[in-house]
A and B are shown apart, each in its own frame.
Chain A
Amino acid sequence: MDLATLLPFLVNVIAGGLVLGFVYAIIALGYTMVYGVLQLINFAHSEVFVTGAVVGFEVFRVLTPSPMNGYLKLLIALLAAMVISGLLNVTIERLAYRPLRNAPRLVPLITAIGVSLILQDVLRLIEGFQGRFDLTYTLPDGFSGKFCGAESSCAAVGSTLARLGLDLQLKDVILIVVALLSLAVLNYLVNRTRLGKAIRAVAQDRVTAGLMGIDSNRMISATFLIGGALGGISGVLFGMKFGTVNAYSGFDPGIIAFTAAVLGGIGSIPGAVLGGLALGVIQNLIGVTNIFGGLLGIANLEAIDASYQRIGAFIVLVLILIFKPTGLLGKSNVEKV
């Protein structure tokens, strides 16, 4: 393979990584926001996200026969997933985390792991009683087709992309648009509204925020609602992207997204996005190292296959935590003694 063939190949790998990265980024936001207010790794977030994916699956499944516009179906799926995942996340906080607000730190962490496990099996049973385990998305017509294919009205754009070597599906573009819209809304919510200001105050110092008249419990609930809604969105996007989910699919993207949050600096919203994009690209690059290995003549690289992608995220996580625990955009956090 020479440069002329390698370059478009690389462009595709990176573009694919960015698409994946947007999904990770939205999941990572759920981790980072909760960590910001409670200093808790919400292990259950991966299941909140899978819940969104399951809701998305159900909406698309039920609406398949309907002649409704595909984008409308998507909108319904996204809204349903946001509502259900958001409420689920709030409920989890209410029932499982709030009673433990003053317990030693290990206690809520272990609870979070437990909630995650419970939700996995509850999701499995919900679908299982209908005889399903692997849920295969039935996307509206055209979503899986080429973005701006030859017959579409924007064929010119498509051919330009093709000349750059980019091979995008329509759903990839939809995914990026939805992700960017969610980020814009979130940014407005957190930085421009009273609610956002109150949440940031609680994240900074819960006691002082309380003295200023902010009901910290309500703000924590609001954070879980927003984080859960983002989880719902990312679930639907994940389902669209990969086509198949099951009750146990949350683990890998959960870990990768958490790594993304740490990479960007936990508690930092732009950091989570940056980290998500970076990890999406890294993961895709690891996935094709065998090809690069072959190109570069490094035999050992060929042994690295997709099963190492997960390890890749962990190694990135270990390295960041050892060398730059505050992440790329995080603020240094000196423990008060």
Chain B
Amino acid sequence: MTAVHPVSPRRVTPDRTGLLLLIFLLTSALLLLSHNREWLGTLGGVGALLRNPIVEAVVVSLFLANILFAYLWRAAPWAKALVGLGSLLLVLPWAGQEDTSLLDLSIQIMIFAALALGLNIVVGLAGLLDLGYVAFFAVGAYLWGIFASPRLAEILRYYGENPGATNAGTLALGLFLTAVTAASMVAINRHHQRVPPTRASSWGFGLASFGLVAGLILSARALLVLNAFRAEGLANGIDPNFFWLFLALSVLAAAIVGVLIGLPVLRLKGDYLAIITLGLGEVIRVLANNLDLYSAGSQGITPIGSASVGWFDALAARLGFAEDQYGLLFLYVLSLLMVGIILVVNVRLDRSRIGRAWIAIRDDEVAAQAMGVPLVRTKLIAFATGASFAGVMGMIFAAKQTFVSPESFNLFQSIGVLSMVILGGMGSFPGVILGAAVVTLLNLRILPGLGEATANLSWIPQQANPGQLQRLIFGVILVAMMLLRPEGLLPSRRRTLELHHEGDQEDDSAKGTGPSLTGGGGDVYSPGLETRQEDEPAGGTR
């Protein structure tokens, strides 16, 4: 009995160091040229062509493909490093100096790359289809948006005018209630680790969590009322130096919201989870639309501040950036850093006890649990981790846009991030980054370019303008990838093996949970035959 396993012969790829460097130089030159207004002006017709938004998108895509080539091709390590770092740290900012929209686009790509990496943990590793992922992005964006804008002063003013019966005593009561209920929840939880929960202890836990929410609301309200007098001093939001603190807070807040949303819904089966998360995502958006005091409703919050870092601005000035570009450049470097950190965290988690538990749950919940993996807790960690990435990028998004409104957080953002993950390959880190780049370019450059190009064509009415074909594109990505290449463009090793293996199976189990009767390939177990032979002599022992 030997299984024939599909080990493809290792293809010996030629070393492509030279080609890589050549392409890097060519595309960099093209990028720099096409984003320099003066040079373009001297080129006449070619210059006009290069300014076309679709051509520009192609140029940017070609340039970004460098990084992909550096990752994929076999080449000298120094060349890979040179191309990767050179592209991101030298050429892109340089070109961005001439055309800040390029920096903006790069930041947008990185924001989506981080979101895709976060969703990849939830969908790709843990196998939980979350259709409301963008809600966590909104949490980070609104957290910073409220505090770093005139909104904060408005809120304080409101509470100053409507203090109710709130005073210092309320704050004490709120904090006390919070502490007591939190402590009892921890205690009950610990108790449950040892003995099975009883009706009384479960109700106790529910009561305590209710008390916790009440305590938090009381404390927050009291804090707002007591600080109402500061409203005048905070006309433009809090001091920009709090940016760093809020970076940490946005991670925490999104993770907490992730846990709060996850707790009730993660017990549900996969497809119910999809529709519930879709719903909760919409709930957060509707709340943002309706809680006018906090979110300014559909008008959105603006202007939102950003950090200002002295030494960074000085450095940017030395490098020849204009003063109004400092902020964007700073956010560019910051998001690059964040994507780097998130990528490292992802890779490390993937190759750890928790990452294995996620994949085990994705593969087979029942078996994972029987092997000692606590389902809800493990799924919650996935949810919270994915959420925290979205939270921090939400904050960067708010700082970049200087404006947040509920429309940035609708269902299509979630679907968009999902299609990035699917396009690149569920569970594959380089894949989802690639997916993010492709989908973002399509979305922000190619579609608007198409829309512009066709705006004046009489046979395409405005109602059929291709500039708004996001749904079609997302849909085609999702369907085509699922049908033709479910492992994605840059598949993770695991996923390729699994999906192609499943494709080989015969229809022996309609519910998909039955035994796999074919081992690898060709080695088909024939039910009954061998066992019967074995049983016959056994029967004769009587």
Q: Indicate if A331 sits at the interface (CB-CB under 8 A).
A: no
Residues of B within 8 A of A100 (CB): 482-483
Task: List the B residue with the shortest CB-CB distance to A210.
Answer: B510
Residues of B within 8 A of A106 (CB): 123, 127, 129, 270
Residues of A within 8 A of B474 (CB): 114, 117
Interface centre among A104, A106, A129, A336 (most CB of B within 10 A): A106
User: Can you offer 8 A-B residue contacts whose CB atoms are under 8 A?
Assistant: A39-B511, A109-B270, A114-B477, A118-B479, A205-B510, A210-B510, A308-B286, A335-B513
Q: Mark B479-519, 1 if CB is under 8 A from A, else 0.
A: 11011001000000000000100110101011111000000
Partner of A303, one of B290, B480, B513: B290
Partner of B129, one of A110, A119, A127: A110
Please classify how large the interface on chain B is, using the bins under 10, 10 to 19, 20 to 34, 35 or more: 35 or more
Task: List the B residue with the shortest CB-CB distance to A109.
Answer: B271
- The 4 lowest CB-CB distance pairs between A and B, nearest first, are A114-B478, A117-B475, A128-B464, A314-B279
Residues of A within 8 A of B280 (CB): 314, 318
Q: A118-B472, A255-B275, A314-B280 are in contact. Are A101 and B499 (CB under 8 A)?
A: no
Q: Indicate if B2 sits at the interface (CB-CB under 8 A).
A: no
Residues of B within 8 A of A318 (CB): 264-265, 276, 279-280
Q: Is the CB of A102 within 8 A of B282?
A: no
Q: State in angstroms the CA–CA spacing of A205 and B478 once bound together.
A: 29
Task: List the A residue with the shortest CB-CB distance to B289.
Answer: A307
* B-contacting 9-mer, from A61-69, A130-138, A223-231, A285-293: A130-138
**Chain B residues touching A, majority SS:** helix
Q: Mark A170-192, 1 if CB is under 8 A from B, else 0.
A: 00000000000000000000000
Q: A100-B482, A111-B483, A117-B474 are in contact. Are A105 and B463 (CB under 8 A)?
A: no
Q: Indicate if B274 sits at the interface (CB-CB under 8 A).
A: yes
Partner of B271, one of A105, A127, A207: A105
Q: Is the CB of B512 within 8 A of A102?
A: yes
Q: Mark B266-306, 1 if CB is under 8 A from A, else 0.
A: 01101110111011101100100110000000000000000
Q: Indicate if B469 sits at the interface (CB-CB under 8 A).
A: yes
Q: Indicate if B224 sits at the interface (CB-CB under 8 A).
A: no
Residues of B within 8 A of A113 (CB): 131, 415, 418, 475, 478
Q: Is the CB of A111 within 8 A of B286?
A: no
Which residues of chain A from 107 to 153 have a CB within 8 Å of any chain B CB? 107-111, 113-122, 124-125, 127-133
Q: State in angstroms the CA–CA spacing of A167 and B507 once bound together.
A: 56
Which residues of chain B from 399 to 441 have a CB within 8 Å of any chain A CB? 411, 415, 418, 422
Q: Indicate if A317 sits at the interface (CB-CB under 8 A).
A: yes
Q: Is the CB of B482 within 8 A of A110?
A: yes
Q: A104-B512, A106-B270 are in contact. Are A111 and B275 (CB under 8 A)?
A: no
Q: Indicate if A310 sits at the interface (CB-CB under 8 A).
A: yes
Residues of A within 8 A of B183 (CB): none
